[in-house]
Amino acid sequence: MDVVTVEEVNQTYSFEQWMETDGKADIDDLREALLNESATEEDITRFVELLSEGPLGNTLTCKIKNFHVTETNFYVITAYIMQMEGSKYQYCSNPLLPNEKWEVKATIKKEKLSEPLVEGMLFNTVYKIRHPKIASTSIFSIDLHKFKSIEKSFEEVLKRFGGDTLYIQALNELESDMEKVLTERLILLSKDVQKDISREKKKIQQLTKQLTALEQEYENREVLLDNKNKEWLKIFNRVLELRELDEVVEEVRKETYSLEEPQKMISLLQSLIYHNSDDDLIYDEVIIEQFIRGIQSNTMVVLSGPSGTGKSSIVSAMGEAIKGAKVHMIPVQSSWTDTQDLLGYFNPIDKCYVASPFMEALADAKQDSENLHLICLDEMNLAHVEYYFSEFLSAREKEKPSIRLYSKRYFISAKSLLNSMTAENKLEEKYVNAAELIERYTYDFSIPKNVRFIGTVNMDHTVKPLSPKVIDRSFIIELGHLERRNRERIERELKTYVNVGAIDLSLEEFSKPLHDEETIKSEAQKIMDLSHQLDAVPNAPLNSRGYKQLVGYLSRTPEQERTLEIESKYTDQLVFTKILPRIELSRRDSDGTEAINNFKASIKNYPRSLQKLESMLEDERIIRFW
């Protein structure tokens, strides 16, 4: 992290003065607009531009109030905005809440910090505009990827370590110019120090001579090593070679498997997940099949279940079990409130796109179009999913799925700038930023076809419920702790034959349907009919989108002969993952309760779904999946 001194910080125009004079009218207008909820992003952008042209400039001076590290290794930082008055920093008042200090927040990966954070640290950084929904408390947030710490003055250092008491005592002892007085006293002491240094130099010279003699003796003893010692050295080196060879052999044993028999895919994946993992991961074949059919059909998969059931692990394990697949784990923060938190934002000052980890994963996938990329929003319901993900879910349903990252005029400007680039200036930051906009973060970013989206959720009182929109667009897969007897049975079967490595199949082979719609149309319609038995339950019946998801799922099941047993197997899976999660009904609704009881009788031949519905009906107040 770069360091600047207090003297290098230029603050000539008081922010408080600006608030009471030039900026007063604009502040009053924006505050009123925010209170009336009529503020637009353009209002906030214009106000921030006034700040950047006036007292703030293009950068902020901040002071760390506090910070903490999340379980997912992210720093969450709160800082005050500061201003220079004379030779001291003062707190800025919040222009929207003038009786409060102006605070801003930011998050950053722990490994991206180049030095430890300290409460009270001063630093300069750039800032980004916030969405109107949350601008009532802060009109922008800070970017910690590029910030410069500010060295404190001697007086500030004294106050930091001893408070005002130490500062006043030093002022009385050393008078006003403390640094000058200390310098003079150090000069008086330097003569004695020089004598001490001279004595130490002589000691060092003596020790150096002794060390040289010892090194010479060591070299002489090396020459006198007998043949026996040399033979032992050869044996030791040979052992190391054999150990390396053993590691190579172990690597070679990791095979790749082709899928000439698609019906064996699930059992093979179950075996690979178990044997590839150091943790001996065990999942029921039903869970693996629901997961793989969901991502094959390019429908979002939501993994639900308590902690320790392997929700995140199955995603990572699936990435290892499919050759070439990449997994991107994106930890969701409880502070996420809009699309910017998910995708990042465009910095109009530097003319660059500041991508989030999610957006970086999308860009990586776009540049690696031959391989499958799994992007997992870990603990996705720590924040309201519809706040930050709703726009993206809608974008996925376009004929050509894409998302708007920034204004087209910046993209055109970047193209024009690159036309003026030469070999001499191509490494300048503005050209690098422009090239990244053109090559990696286009203004209308197409969602890559090789990406599959996954979410993990814990459904307890500390998190936000999933909205009907999210449930409607997802396969909900519930993971639980395997019963001991069932787990031991699966483990015995897995140990009979070891499969280590990955399934080798192209993205096209992985995604293509094995049946046309006509073949499985009746199965899908049967499930649709079952869902319409719940017409009295709000949001429970499947719609046309749900029908397409059923067809996508069933068309990738491998069995060519659709026996009653096969149809029942997949109906059970889809009732569990598509219909039951949609049910949420108060017991006071007699019509809805009666419909659910009738529906229960209709699914008596589907054991997993029946068992789950019976557990849902045990609640005396609300019938719901979670």
What is the CATH classification number for the domain harbouring 355? 3.40.50.300
Name the more confident of 118 and 268.
268
Q: Are residues 555 and 471 both part of a single domain? A: no
Assess if residue 500 is contained within a domain: no
Instruction: Give me the pLDDT at residue 4, please.
Output: 46
Name the more confident of 427 and 385.
385
> Where residue 466 falls among pLDDT bands split at 50, 70, 90?
very high
Instruction: Give me the pLDDT at residue 320, please.
Output: 93
Q: Which residues of 165-177 are buried (b: 16+ CB within 10 A; e: fewer)?
A: eebeebeeeeeee
Q: Are residues 529 and 592 both part of a single domain? A: yes
Instruction: Give me the pLDDT at residue 518, please.
Output: 92
Neighbours of 398 (CB within 10 A): 11
Assess if residue 186 is contained within a domain: no
Assess if residue 66 is contained within a domain: yes
Instruction: Give me the pLDDT at residue 489, please.
Output: 94
> Where residue 248 falls among pLDDT bands split at 50, 70, 90?
low
Q: Compute and round to an integer the Cα radius of gyration of the chain.
A: 33
Q: Are residues 334 and 463 both part of a single domain? A: yes
> Where residue 161 falls among pLDDT bands split at 50, 70, 90?
low
Q: Are residues 468 and 569 both part of a single domain? A: no
Min mean pLDDT across 226-240, 290-304, 376-390 is at: 226-240
User: Which residue among 131, 152, 173 closes a domain?
Assistant: 152
Instruction: Give me the pLDDT at residue 54, please.
Output: 72
Range ranked top by mean pLDDT from 76-80, 152-156, 534-538: 534-538
Between strands 122-129 and 140-151, the pairing is antiparallel
Calculated CA dihedral for residues 129, 130, 133, 139, nearest 10 degrees: -80
For the chain, the 3-state helix, strand and coil shares in percent, each to the nearest 5, are 50, 20, 30
* Residue among 359, 350, 344 nearest 417 (CA): 350
> Where residue 27 falls among pLDDT bands split at 50, 70, 90?
confident
Between strands 402-404 and 444-446, the pairing is antiparallel
User: Which residue among 152, 181, 212 closes a domain?
Assistant: 152
d(CA 460, CA 445): 35
Would you say 149 and 164 are in contact if contact means Cβ atoms under 8 Å apart? no
Assess if residue 350 is contained within a domain: yes
Query: What number is the average pLDDT over the span 610-626?
Result: 94
Assess if residue 611 is contained within a domain: yes
Q: Are residues 342 and 467 both part of a single domain? A: yes
| Amino acid, res. 537 | V
Q: Please say whether the dihedral angle defined by the alpha carbons of residues 256, 262, 263 and 265, taken in this order, is positive or negative.
A: positive
Per DSSP, which regions of 130-205 are E strands? Answer: 140-151
Assess if residue 294 is contained within a domain: no
Q: Are residues 66 and 112 both part of a single domain? A: yes
User: What is the total count of domains within the chain?
Assistant: 3
Instruction: Give me the pLDDT at residue 102, please.
Output: 87
User: Which residue among 129, 152, 175 closes a domain?
Assistant: 152
Q: Are residues 470 and 576 both part of a single domain? A: no
Assess if residue 259 is contained within a domain: no
pLDDT tens digits, 189-198: 666 777 777 7
Strand-pairing partners, residue 330, are 377
Name the more confident of 216 and 575.
575
Assess if residue 386 is contained within a domain: yes
> Where residue 145 falls among pLDDT bands split at 50, 70, 90?
confident
Calculated CA dihedral for residues 227, 232, 234, 237, nearest 10 degrees: -160
Q: What's this model's pTM, rounded to 2 decimal places?
A: 0.61
> Where residue 30 falls among pLDDT bands split at 50, 70, 90?
confident
Contacts 24+ apart (CB under 8 A), 424-431: 429/350, 430/350, 430/351
Q: Are residues 467 and 558 both part of a single domain? A: no
| Three-point CA angle 351, 356, 362, nearest 5° | 100
pLDDT over threshold 50, residue 7 = no
Q: Are residues 603 and 554 both part of a single domain? A: yes
Would you say 583 and 596 are in contact if contact means Cβ atoms under 8 Å apart? yes
> Where residue 60 falls among pLDDT bands split at 50, 70, 90?
confident
Q: Are residues 333 and 466 both part of a single domain? A: yes
Q: Are residues 346 and 394 both part of a single domain? A: yes
> Where residue 229 falls among pLDDT bands split at 50, 70, 90?
confident
Instruction: Give me the pLDDT at residue 233, please.
Output: 75
Instruction: Give me the pLDDT at residue 232, please.
Output: 77
Range ranked top by mean pLDDT from 104-108, 382-386, 419-423: 382-386
| Amino acid, res. 344 | G
What is the residue-averaged pLDDT of the chain? 86
pLDDT tens digits, 33-43: 877 777 777 87
Q: What percent of the chain has pLDDT over 90?
A: 51
Q: Are residues 465 and 537 both part of a single domain? A: no
User: 532 is in which domain, residue-wise?
Assistant: 516-624
